[in-house]
Structure 1
Amino acid sequence: MIPYGKQDISEQDIASVVEVLQSDFLTQGPQVPLFENAIKQATTAQYACAVNSATSALHIACMALDVGPGDIVWTSPITFVASANCALYCGASIDFVDIDPQTYNLCPHALATKLAHAKRNQTLPKVIIPVHLGGQSCALAAIYALAKEYGVKIIEDASHCIGAQYQDKPVGACTYSDITVFSFHPVKIVTSAEGGAAVTNCAELAQRLELLRSHGVTRDESQMDASSVPDSHAQTTFPPWYYQQIALGYNYRMTDLHAALGLSQMQRLTSFIRSRQHLASRYNELLADLPVLLPTQHPDTQSSWHLYIIRLRLAHDTQRVNNLTHSEVFSALRERGIGVNLHYIPVHLQPFYQRLGFAEGDFPVAEAYYETAISIPLFHGMTDAQQDEVVLALRDVLLM
């Protein structure tokens, strides 16, 4: 089976983890800030907060922006459920904005219409979470202009996007957002086995993120609540053991083991991106004559190519290609050892979200995308022979 995505672990990666295993620190030690520094260098963001997953990063990003009961958060329906769940964790409500039919990212035109309607109804969101699907940035400048007009904060879900660029700047520079979130899951471009990070250019938000990832506990005297200090500690300096919990946080910390792997992987980020760009360019050539829509790349973006998503050109009358349905094409490719996948089932069609009131037909562009999309294999280390095998299988299924 040729998987749709997989990690690429080098001897240096293994040695980096073994070195931590032989050190004095297994949980949070010196590797975590080093990994955070590597993320800052790659994104040009001023602050980075490494955590145990991108879901955790999304959660504390919402919390850092004071999302809570009575608030509304909007995101794309074409994403993993974590992009929406993070708002619910905070007690807020969630809604969706339909996607652009070309890039499959959150559509600025749909956003403009929805914001105008929400303002009239006094139901404006507190935060918008645009998702950079497959490694291509959303139209952030347009989204930011709308958010600024309506007083809305932005969290970029860049889980697919480390190493990508938007308007010649790294995704994560936070030029058009308050916080950007990355994922380091094994199928992503860079892996820490499991992990995530939130980056920002705001010192106050960075301080909140760090507090919330670690139980809401601080040893920083400047953050402590002086009115809660016991009388026995009423002195110029606090005892060396003293700490305070000043917020309700979580144990979302990244370990030194995970950080060491992530740090080693970050040294190959440029190589990973070049490899994926080469593979995507080769797919563009090899698949040009097949009855599929190839990924569209906006000129403002340089994708990191986490995913290569094709869409079947189904006949309007039969909803088939080569007499096969979407599901049958998918199954036929799997039977030939091609580990295709589908990113994603629209979140609003999930049973949990339908119980919240969402229904089929709510976001028609996202639903039309879902009816034809297939993610085909693309990963660092994929050989020409493997790629040729994928293309041959597609030809057999779609043309024979």
Structure 2
Amino acid sequence: MNSIPRITVPVFKEQQHHVNLAIQRGELVVGRDLDGFKTELRNTFQRQYVALSNSGHSALMASLRAMGLNGKRILLPALSTCFAITNAIKSSGNFPVYGDLELSTGNLDVTAVAKLRYNFDAILSPNYFGIASDIESFKSFDVPVIEDACQSYLTSMGKESSADAQVFSFYPTKILNAIDGGASLVKQESIYQELKNITYYDHQEAVDDETRYNIRMPNLHAAFGLGTMANLDKIILRNSKIIEIYDDLFANCQVASRLGPLSNKTLSRYVLRFNSIVKRELFMNKCLKAGIGVSKEFMALVKPGNSYPNASRILDTTCSIPLHYQLTDNILDYLMTTLNQIIKELV
């Protein structure tokens, strides 16, 4: 069997259909698909206001600025899966400060946040791998809370978040692929108006002291995203089946367990946490030799050390295995047989 990639980007005929229609109408940058995409997001996440942008990073940066945060300390986890979060904080004129992670989820730890009280002005909490953060607890600290839902599209669907802003990414490796793009979902009209003011300047009539950007989402991206949305039911069904099969395999495993609650069948990544760094490295090496794509997901935003003991442990003991729509039943059979053998060899 050929190598099994950890991530793939599925292509659907509906994506091409929506894009072709937009091209035929000459709606490449501005067009009706933008309104359609916003309406779908508004209905899905029960938010009154949706501001689209050209990337998840832009959505985060614009949200921080629109909420009036400038020169403030923004708390986030000590580990991340990319540098977009810290770059967005810095480009918005703010400063990142770090908290430890929950061992069971990999998300920002509420207990660690409580210990840092008065050392931060806002909280930016990512839902890593589709695992929901404890937003309700973060709201109790009486500071603005931004929920980074870039990896939790499926988990967040149909649920009303108490966060002041929800931010999404539509990069091709995300569940909702729109070529690229981002969205800021808010409840307050004043924040929404400021988001529009920051994202583009088509309403500007004269030179003023405002700082604005050209970070709007092109209509073609929205059209592509609508094509992906048409296939979400199929993606959900397939991913849920794969997750259930993996959960059965690792249910009684002595060396590794799945990150996140077992009740969650809407993951965007299937991440394992091993009981030691040695077992993690052996597992990854054996998988790669067997043609199974695996990877370390986390990177350190600050030196973990003794200040972030859970972050250090998670950084050293986690990796992800393939989870995507294009894992066929034949490939899954091979994965189960091979992974089962590898696990037995590690005990």
* Same-fold call, TM cutoff 0.5: yes
In the alignment, is the contact (CA less than 8 A) between 2:22 and 2:31 conserved in 1?
no
- Describe how 1:1-400 pairs up with structure 2 within 5 A: 1-69=3-71, 71-79=72-80, 80-115=82-117, 119=118, 123=119, 125-146=120-141, 148=142, 152-165=143-156, 170-171=158-159, 173-174=160-161, 176-214=162-200, 217-219=201-203, 242=205, 247-290=210-253, 291-297=255-261, 302=264, 304-314=266-276, 319-321=277-279, 326-349=280-303, 360-400=305-345
Letter paired with 1:139: D
Structure 1 CA distance for aligned equivalents of residues 67 and 5 of structure 2: 38
2:36 counterpart SS class = helix
Structure 2 residue matching 1:2: 3-state secondary structure: coil
Q: Which runs of 4 or more aligned residues in structure 1 lie more than 4 Å from their structure 2 counterparts after TM superposition?
A: 242-246
Q: Secondary structure at the match of 1:371?
A: helix
Partner of 1:352: none
- For each residue in 1:321-343, what CA deviation from the matched residue of structure 2 results, as whole angstroms up to 9, or x when unmatched? 3xxxx334323322322111222
- Cross-structure match for 1:232: none
1:201-241 deviations in whole A, cap 9, x for unaligned?
11111111111111xx252xxxx7xxxxxxxxxxxxxxxxx
The separation in 1 between residues aligned to 2:274 and 2:262, in whole angstroms, is: 20
Take 2:262 and 2:22, find their aligned partners in 1: how far apart are those partners? Answer: 42
Q: Is the 8 A contact 2:106 2:259 kept in 1?
A: no
Aligned to 1:138, what secondary structure does the other structure show? Answer: coil
**For 1:178 and 1:75, how far apart are their aligned partners in 2?**
15
Q: Secondary structure at the match of 1:189?
A: coil
Q: Deviations over 1:179-220 (max 9, x none)?
A: 100111111111001111110111111111111111xx252x
Q: Distance in 1 between matches of 2:232 and 2:223?
A: 15
Instruction: State the SS of the aligned residue for 1:3.
Output: coil
Alignment coverage as a number of residue pairs: 341
Q: Deviations over 1:273-324 (max 9, x none)?
A: 232222111110122243211233176xx5521011011223xxxx533xxx
Render the CA deviation track for 1:152-189: whole Å, top value 9, x for unaligned: 10110000111214xxx735x33x21110011111111
TM-score where L is the length of structure 2:
0.91
Whether the 8 Å contact between 1:377 and 1:390 is mirrored in structure 2 is no
Report the CA distance shift for 1:210/1:335 in structure 2 as closer, same or farther (over 3 A).
Answer: farther
> What's the TM-score once normalised by structure 1's chain length?
0.80
Gaps of 5+ in 1: 225-241, 350-358
Shift of 1:271: 3.0
The 1:245/1:41 distance shift into structure 2, 3 A limit, reads farther
Report the RMSD for the aligned CA atoms in angstroms: 2.0
CA distance in 2: counterparts of 1:243 and 1:255, whole angstroms: 24
In the alignment, structure 2 segments of 5+ residues that lack a partner are none
Over 3 Å counting, the alpha-carbon distance change for 1:393 and 1:345 in structure 2 is farther
**Deviation string, structure 1 residues 49-77 (Cα, Å, up to 9, x no partner):** 111110110110111112223x1101112
Structure 1 residues 273 and 247 mapped into 2: Cα distance closer, same or farther (>3 Å)?
A: farther
Give the superposition deviation at 1:399. Answer: 2.6
Opposite residue 102 of structure 1, the aligned amino acid is S
- Give the distance between the partners of 2:333 and 2:27, measured in 1 at CA: 45
* 1:20 alignment partner, SS class: helix
1:66 aligns to what SS in structure 2? coil
Does the 8 Å contact 1:13/1:261 carry over to 2? yes
Classify 1:91/1:339 alpha carbon distance in 2 versus 1 (closer, same or farther; 3 Å).
same
Partners of 1:272 and 1:285 in 2: CA distance: 20
The change in CA–CA distance for 1:244 and 1:20 in structure 2 (over 3 A counts) is farther
Question: Aligned partners of 1:81, 1:108: CA distance in 2, in Å?
Answer: 22
1:160/1:304 contact within 8 Å kept: no
For residues 285 and 193 of structure 2, what CA distance do their matches in structure 1 show?
Answer: 48
Of structures 1 and 2, the larger Rg is shown by 1
Q: Work out the CA distance in 1 between the residues paired with 2:147 and 2:169.
A: 12
Q: Which secondary structure state, in structure 2, belongs to the residue aligned with residue 99 of structure 1?
A: coil
CA contact (8 A) 2:147 2:167 kept: yes
Shift of 1:370: 1.0
